[in-house]
Amino acid sequence: MKKLLHLISGFIAVGVAAAPVMAGYESYEAFAETDGYALFTVNNLWILLSAALVFIMHLGFSTLEAGLCQQKNTVNILFKNVFIISMGLLTYAFWGFNAMYPGFAEDSAGIFAMGSWFGVSNDDVSLMTDEYASYTWWTDFIFQGMFAATAATIVSGAVAERVKLSSFMIFVTILVMFAYPMAGSWKWGGGWLDAKGFYDFAGSSIVHAFGGFAALASVLLLGPRKGKYTKDGKIKPILGHSMPLATIGVFLLFLGWFGFNGGSVLSADPLLVSYVFCTTGLAAASGAIGAILVSWIVLKKPDLSMALNGILAGLVGITAGADVIGMGSSIIVGLIAGALVVFAILFFDKIKVDDPVGAISVHGVCGIWGTLAVGIFSADFSVGIQLLGTLTYAIFAFVFSFAVFGLIKAVMGIRVSAEEEFEGLDVGEHGQEAYPDFSVTSR
Helix H or strand E segment including 441: none
Q: How many CA atoms lie within 13 A of 212 on its CB side?
A: 30
Q: CA-to-CA distance for 207 and 210, rounded, in angstroms?
A: 5
Q: How many CA atoms lie within 13 A of 348 on its CB side?
A: 27
187 binds a copy of itself (CB under 8 A): no
Q: Interface with a copy of itself by CB under 8 A: which range of 155-163, 197-205, 385-393, 432-440? A: 432-440
340 binds a copy of itself (CB under 8 A): no
Taking the least distance from each CB to a copy of itself, the nearer of 105 and 271 is 271
Q: Judged by CB under 8 A, which of 135, 188, 260, 402 binds a copy of itself?
A: 135
Q: Judged by CB under 8 A, which of 141, 168, 396, 398 binds a copy of itself?
A: 141
C-alpha radius of gyration, the chain, whole number: 22
422 binds a copy of itself (CB under 8 A): no
Phi, psi of 202 (to 5 degrees): -125, 10
Contacts of 113 (CB under 8 A, 6+ apart): 99, 100, 102, 104, 181, 182, 185, 189, 191
Q: Judged by CB under 8 A, which of 218, 264, 329, 371 binds a copy of itself?
A: 329
Show contacts with a copy of itself in window 289-328 (CB under 8 A): 289, 292, 299-305, 307-308, 311, 323-328
Taking the least distance from each CB to a copy of itself, the nearer of 53 and 368 is 53
Report the b/e string of 366-399 with b at 16+ CB within 10 A: bbbbbbbbbbbbbeebeeebbeebbebbbebbbe
Binding-residue total with a copy of itself (CB under 8 A): 143
236 binds a copy of itself (CB under 8 A): no
- Among 258, 382, 275, residue whose Cα is nearest residue 329: 275
Q: How far is the CB of 208 from a copy of itself (least distance, A)?
A: 20
Q: Judged by CB under 8 A, which of 30, 111, 195, 278 binds a copy of itself?
A: 278
23 binds a copy of itself (CB under 8 A): no
133 binds a copy of itself (CB under 8 A): no
254 binds a copy of itself (CB under 8 A): yes
Taking the least distance from each CB to a copy of itself, the nearer of 41 and 417 is 41
227 binds a copy of itself (CB under 8 A): no
Whether residue 134 contacts residue 220, with contact meaning beta carbons closer than 8 Å, is answered with: no
Q: How many CA atoms lie within 13 A of 62 on its CB side?
A: 16
Show contacts with a copy of itself in window 72-91 (CB under 8 A): 72, 74-75, 78-79, 81-83, 85-90
Taking the least distance from each CB to a copy of itself, the nearer of 19 and 111 is 19
